[in-house]
Amino acid sequence: MADRPITKLYLLSHTHTDFGYTDHISSVRRHHRNILDRAITLCEESFDLPDGAQHRWTCELTSTTLDFLRHASAQQVDRFLALHRAGRIAVGALRYHWTPLVSRTLALHTLRDIDALRNEFGVKIRSAMQCDVNGLAWFWNDLLAARGIAFLSTHQNPHRGYFGPRQPSLWHWENRTGGRILVHQGEHYGWGGNFLRLGRPEEQDAGTLGAMLARHAASPDWPLDASVLTITNAANGDNAFPQTELSAAVHTWNARNDLQMEIVTLDQLGDILAQVPDLPVQSGEWMDSWCDGVASSPLETAAARSAERLLPVIERLGPPEDGSFEELIERLALYNEHTWGAHSAATAPDNIFATIQRTEKSSFAYGAFAASLHAVAGASRHLARARRAGHAVEGDPRFTAQSHPELSADAQGYMVANPSTQPMALDWPVPFDRGAGPQIAIPQAYGCDAFFPGFGADGWTDAQSRFRPDGQHRLQAQLAPGEVRFLRPSPVVTTGVETGPGWIETPLVRIEICPQTGGFSRWLDKENEAEMLAPAKPLLAPIFERMRPGVSRRDIFQAPYWERSERPMQWSPEPVFDYDTQPEVSFHDDAGSGALHWSISFPGGFFAKLRLAPQGGDGTFVLTALQRVEPTDLPYSVHWPLRFAQPVETTLIDTGDGLVDALADHVPSSCLRWQCLQSGLGFRFGDGSGVALAPLDTPLYQPGGPHWRNPHTAPETADGGTIWSINTHWDTNFPVRVTDQAPARFVLRSLRVADAKTIGAALEQMSACPVIVRVPEAEEMPAGTLPSGA
């Protein structure tokens, strides 16, 4: 009820958990053991104080809690559990604070921490907490509700996350299946302790607190005569010890003021807020306004995306039992965790601390990539052995390049399988024969550009192969969902595919490349007699923007958070970027390859090598760009615009569990300016037709075109939008240089009917990864089916 005076203030005592940013990541984990040990002591020492002043502690995450309990002495565990049973310690349900990179499959695996805490220690979890980032993907709602989690408290960082009008707010978040959880959208976690210093006797900023609570009382989104603030350490809110004097500060405050404070746990707060009647019900995606950081490490993000796409494949085959699957889950989780880099990444990028953080964050992506390949290799080879008992299978100790010298690489047998729920038009290069030598943990068929661009450039192992593919054969088959088949390579048929300087044509499509921009100037859907593009609006013509010399990252955002201001985030009214729009475009002659090749070079230092080829014979084609930027300290971004001849009526994006409208299907506080994709997105035109696009390596989509100001203001129309492949213009948290060659793949298909069902099926087909195992002696066999999975 608006303008109702606030007479009670609930305080949530915790520390914000950043894996990185303030310290080396492994040190952070060990440090949190000491933090929780100290919290236990403070809770025990405050038993003699009045109930509301007794210290209560909230463990934000399951990961740090499990780590503490598994390393604690029996006495420490008993002390923790006694306080937990007494309602003095609560544990949040999430393993980490998440970015929208997390897939539904990964999320399910991380929520098994809830079972571990219950089964190993008897810890009961009823609530969840998400700090710094302002949202949580919609599918989390279903998964949390199914686990008995009824309350979610979020504490959004207004620095770049935007200080929105819905802080605080209280509402029910409805999920896709009709269930709901209660959401408290609170102030930034640093306000109560770090800024207002409510945990330090005689230091409380009562004036600023009064102004804040007056704003809460006047807000139509806050219906209580009580409010909530979190208390982290007054020195720093991140990875810090509990505020030692909090109980004494609350006891002293309550004796002197009408406004009463009460320390509560996350579970207690949920119980209190659940009593508020007639709360609004909202449904939809809740995208995070910090998620553009994933483009600041584009090669790592591409590797992590490839690993995450293999999770359902591994589950379908059956995860290996050697611990590699659990390693994969944890490494992907740590890469998708919200902390990117170090506090000094932008101000001192060459500092060893920033380098350490960048390197370790990168290692999670690379480790996940390696673990995913190892898991697929083990599970798929096990399946091949079971289906072809007695035959040599790649990865066997007796499997060598000399096993079958009478068989060329193009005459050997392969087990192929479609692990997806959609039909698959398999068209894959014949793998090099590496025997049982190097890269044995990599499926031979995945050591190629078809799986990950640039992966096939491996001169050393290729030189060791006595039996090389001739380049004129491929693994080709039409596979039903779940189908398993043994086959031999087929001669490549390029009949009907023609190329010339700047154009490629198949029986179904003709694509022409603009010699000025390097983007598509024409896309003719011959089957439907439709021109998909307007010549003045080239598709996927990259834009390279650099910050103007003399402009700092702070000048972009004018971030008031650092000055403890309650005014909303401001953005520079002046231009801060220069745009390179006139690249040099060069076409390369590769007659007979069935593909079109060209390169783009911008004067500012951005370079891309591009390849365009048809896929599957149904009008689908793949654009592969290998990007590189010359080292520079100037912040920059690379965008790939999505423009079409017809106005886009609806843009549907896959955020993890079905499609949502990119502009309409969001809760009011969701970020609308940049959105993270899972499989991809689809565009629907006014006549019902459309386009499906799967950006395999670059998940950051922005409706309406490049934009860096207020992320919560929707563009008037999505109008195609753009894909961000590289971004370094953020002023903290992320690396500021990108020097590795990074891929950006775009799989496109025109659709005669572009509804949610058709787009969803197309995206799964376009992003699915086949299972391929070399079994040299295996003859072609009738189809079988994959197991149902773990």
173-211 tens-digit pLDDT: 999 888 899 999 999 999 999 899 999 998 999 999 999
How many whole angstroms separate alpha carbon 554 and alpha carbon 159? Answer: 11
What are all long-range contacts of 504-510, with beta carbons under 8 Å and residues at least 24 apart?
Answer: 504/595, 504/596, 504/612, 504/613, 504/614, 506/614, 506/619, 508/614, 508/617, 508/618, 508/619, 509/614, 509/619, 509/621, 509/750
Which residue in 532, 501, 505 sits closest to 514, CA to CA? Answer: 501
Give the pLDDT score at 609: 97
Written as one letter, the residue type at 43 is C
Let me know: does 379 contact 395? Beta carbons within 8 Å: no
Spatial separation of the C-alpha atoms in residues 412 and 402, rounded to whole Å: 13
pTM of the predicted model as reported, rounded to 2 decimal places: 0.95
pLDDT of 745 above 90: yes
In total, the chain counts a number of residues equal to 790
Residue 561 scores a pLDDT above 60? no
In this prediction, residue 94 carries a pLDDT of: 98
Q: What is the DSSP letter of 194?
A: I
DSSP β-bridge partners for residue 522: 512
Dump strand ranges (E) for 642-708.
648-654, 659-661, 675-676, 681-685, 690-695, 700-702
pLDDT tens for 609-623 read: 999 999 988 899 999
Q: Distances from the Cα of 668 to the Cαs of 24, 144, 285, 665, in angstroms?
A: 36, 21, 9, 9
Q: Which residue has the tokens 């593909």?
A: 595
What the block records as the tokens of 208 is 């600023």
Q: If you average pLDDT over residues 469-479, what whole number do you get?
A: 88
Distance CA 97, CA 337 (A): 6
E strand map for 619-765: 620-629, 636-641, 648-654, 659-661, 675-676, 681-685, 690-695, 700-702, 722-727, 742-751
- Vertex 134: Cα angle to 33 and 299 (nearest 5): 80
Show the tokens assigned to 245.
């004097």
Least confident of 152-166, 269-283, 541-555: 152-166
Quote the pLDDT of residue 292.
79
Domains and CATH numbers, the chain: 8-283 (3.20.110.10), 294-466+478-493 (no CATH), 521-767 (2.70.98)
Per-residue model confidence (pLDDT) at position 438: 64
* Alpha helices (H) along 478-567: 553-557
CA distance 186 to 189: 8
Sign of CA dihedral 602, 608, 609, 611: negative
Contacts of residue 591, Cβ cutoff 8 Å, sequence gap at least 6: 499
Of the listed ranges 18-32, 109-123, 402-416, 682-696, the one predicted with least confidence: 402-416
